[in-house]
Structure 1
Amino acid sequence: MKLVAPKSFTFEGGNRAVLLLHGFTGSTKDVKRLGEYLQKRGYTCHAPMYKGHGGTPEELLQTTPTDWWQDVIKGYHYLQDLGYEEIAVAGISLGGVFSLKIAEEFPVKAVVSMCAPVKRNSTEGLFDRLYNYAKIYKSFEGKSKEVIIEELEVLKSLPRNSFNSVQSITENTCHDLHTITSPTLVLQGALDDAIYQESASYILDHVETNEKEIIWYKESGHIITTGKEKEKVCEDVFTFLNEIEWSDTTLQIE
């Protein structure tokens, strides 16, 4: 069975724009609920689908973090081309790293970093993420257990050079956190791995803005946008964005 890959989306809702960024091995489904929530409350949201994501794990390995970063930049410019002059950015996991990197390199109204591993000091664990994604994906394709085992063994032998680029982007983003002066919200699951929890506190301490806050979710793990407290995440992001001083003062609130 051929699976249909998730796609980029744009939810038009008002004059305030938000760029939404998904994580490694994830898809725009990671941020779709948040996008729909914000759209209903007057925000236009765009979420780019990174090259190689949403399809087979083999296709993902044929792409690089540079490709994914270019998709993020294209997403930012896409909103600009639509006429939006004020853009906030929010991302989960690797998307959280990208959201910080966007804030370091481009003008943003605000940045929301969710479970971003800026303190990851190696590529350890990245292949495990891909391997687990591969098992689930191949199962959904309807392949037999024997075929899945065989294909997973082949996957183990494929080059993983792109993982090194992930580490480089993460380290550079971490190093330049002090250049972020936009209002910053850090969201973190309390049940997430230690590296993500350490990263959350580090981000809060090193962004160079007085308008910053961290919120912990006691019952949530890593992808908090789809987890047990997903509605609270949506509410907190909206509250934060709504407190920013936008040039457009008209906003629908439900």
Structure 2
Amino acid sequence: MKMKQPEPFMFEGDERAVLLLHGFTGHSADMRMLGRYLNNEGYTCYAPIYRGHGKSPEELIGVTAEDWWEDVQQAYQELKDKGYQKIAVIGLSLGGVLGLRLAGNTPLQAVITMCSPMFFDNEQQLTIGFRQFAKDYKKLEGKEDDVIQAEVEQLVDDSKELFQEIATSIEKVKETVDMIYTPTFVVQATNDQMINTESANYIYDSVESDQKQITWYDNAGHAITFSKEKDKVHQDVAQFLASLDW
């Protein structure tokens, strides 16, 4: 069965641009509702898809964590090449880690992290998430349960090196968060089962910006952009962006 592959989206608005970064195993659809909301508020919103994402799990483990960092840098440059000088970045989960890395390397109006990990002390949960993603994808392909189980187990085994790369990239960003002076908004679900929620406090406490905010959402899990709290998240993000000196 051939499935339609997701694509990046670009919602053009005014001169204020927002780069929307998805998480590990995700793609642009994870950020689409937020992108639409912000676009209705006037912002230009661009959501790329990193290499290997939005495709089969086999293709996902065929790339590296540094490839994704290059993809984020390229997406930022694409906005610059289109003439956007004022750019904020919003990242979900691993996208927030990449957003923090971008904030430490390039001038940004703001960085907003959403359920983003700083402590790689939960590799089992990362494995669970990847396993579920692979299983769901293969079900959509119409494969039998025994075939799915065998292929998923092989994928999990093959992904160990990639998970170690992800751990290294998270640690690299964690060590330099205190060098970020960009206005920062930390969005965190209280019932996040995928990451250590102390990550949110670490980001908030470590960034050196005079303009920073942290908000906890009690009725949300890790996929906060799809949660019951998504409307509140949209409003809070828009309010924070509106408070900036664009």
Asked if these proteins are the same fold (TM beyond 0.5), I'd say: yes
Corresponding residue number in structure 1 for 2:106: 106
Could you give the per-residue CA deviations for residues 62-87 of structure 1, whole angstroms, max 9, x where no partner exists?
A: 11111111111111001001100110
1:189 equivalent to 2:189? Answer yes
Could you give the per-residue CA deviations for residues 116-165 of structure 1, whole angstroms, max 9, x where no partner exists?
A: 10122464432222111011111111222232123223324425212111
Q: Pairwise CA RMSD of aligned residues? A: 1.4
Corresponding residue number in structure 2 for 1:26: 26
CA distance in 2, matches of 1:132, 1:195: 16
Deviating more after overlay: 93-102 vs 189-198: 189-198
- Report how far residue 94 of structure 1 moved: 0.2
Within 5 Å, give how 1:140-159 maps onto structure 2.
140-159=140-159
Within 5 Å, give how 1:105-184 maps onto structure 2.
105-121=105-121, 123-184=123-184
Within 5 Å, give how 1:1-254 maps onto structure 2.
1-121=1-121, 123-193=123-193, 195-246=195-246
2:50–2:71 CA contact under 8 A, matched in 1? yes
1:123–1:164 CA contact under 8 A, matched in 2? no
**What runs of 5+ residues in structure 2 fail to find an aligned partner?**
none
**What runs of 5+ residues in structure 1 fail to find an aligned partner?**
247-254
- Report how far residue 90 of structure 1 moved: 0.4
2:31–2:225 CA contact under 8 A, matched in 1? yes
Could you give the per-residue CA deviations for residues 197-236 of structure 1, whole angstroms, max 9, x where no partner exists?
A: 1000111000001211101111001011111111111111
Corresponding residue number in structure 2 for 1:252: none
> What is the DSSP-based 3-state SS (H/G/I as helix, E as strand, rest coil) of the residue aligned with 2:10?
strand
Could you give the per-residue CA deviations for residues 80-104 of structure 1, whole angstroms, max 9, x where no partner exists?
A: 0110011000000000111111101
1:11–1:35 CA contact under 8 A, matched in 2? yes
1:181–1:208 CA contact under 8 A, matched in 2? yes
Identical counterparts, % of pairs: 46
> What is the DSSP-based 3-state SS (H/G/I as helix, E as strand, rest coil) of the residue aligned with 1:105?
coil
- Report how far residue 169 of structure 1 moved: 1.0
CA distance in 2, matches of 1:242, 1:207: 20
| TM-score, structure 1 as length reference | 0.93
| TM-score, structure 2 as length reference | 0.96
Amino acid at match of 2:145: K
Aligned residues: 246
